[in-house]
Amino acid sequence: MISSHYTELAETAGVFIHEIKNHLSTLGLNLQLLAEDFENPQSPRERRALDRIVRLQNECSSLVEVSNDFLRFTHVKDLALRPYDLRKVLEEMVDFFEPTARAANVHVNVFLPADMPPVHLDPDLMKQALLNLLLNAQQAMLKGGELSLIAGVEAGFLVLHVIDTGPGISPEMIENLFKPFFSTKPGGSGLGLPTARKVLEAHGGSLQVQSQIGRGTCFTLRLPIRPPVIPQAGPAEVEPVIHEVPLP
pLDDT tens readout for residues 196-232:
888 888 888 899 999 989 889 999 999 998 655 554 5
**What's the confidence (pLDDT) of residue 148?**
95
Element counts in the chain: helices (H) and strands (E): 6, 7
pLDDT tier for residue 242 given thresholds of 50, 70 and 90 = very low
Q: Is the pLDDT of residue 29 over 90?
A: no
Per residue in 125-150, pLDDT tens? 888 889 889 988 998 899 899 999 99
Task: Identify the bridge partners of residue 162 per DSSP, sorted by sequence position.
Answer: 149, 219
In this predicted structure, the answer to whether residue 27 has a pLDDT above a threshold of 80 is yes
Break the chain into its structural domains and give their ranges: 2-74, 82-224
Average pLDDT, the chain: 79
Of 43-57, 82-96, 105-119, 227-241, the one with minimum mean pLDDT is 227-241
More confident residue, 178 or 102: 102
Global pTM value: 0.64
From CA 25, how far away is CA 210, in angstroms rounded?
40
Q: pLDDT confidence of 159, banded at 50, 70, 90?
A: very high
Q: Which fold has domain 82-224?
A: Heat Shock Protein 90 (3.30.565)
Instruction: Choose between 160 and 188: higher pLDDT.
Output: 160
At 61-81, the pLDDT tens digits run 777 776 666 666 666 666 778
Integer Cα distance of 31 and 63 in angstroms: 14
Mean pLDDT of 35-52: 86
In percent, the amount of the chain with pLDDT more than 90 equals: 22
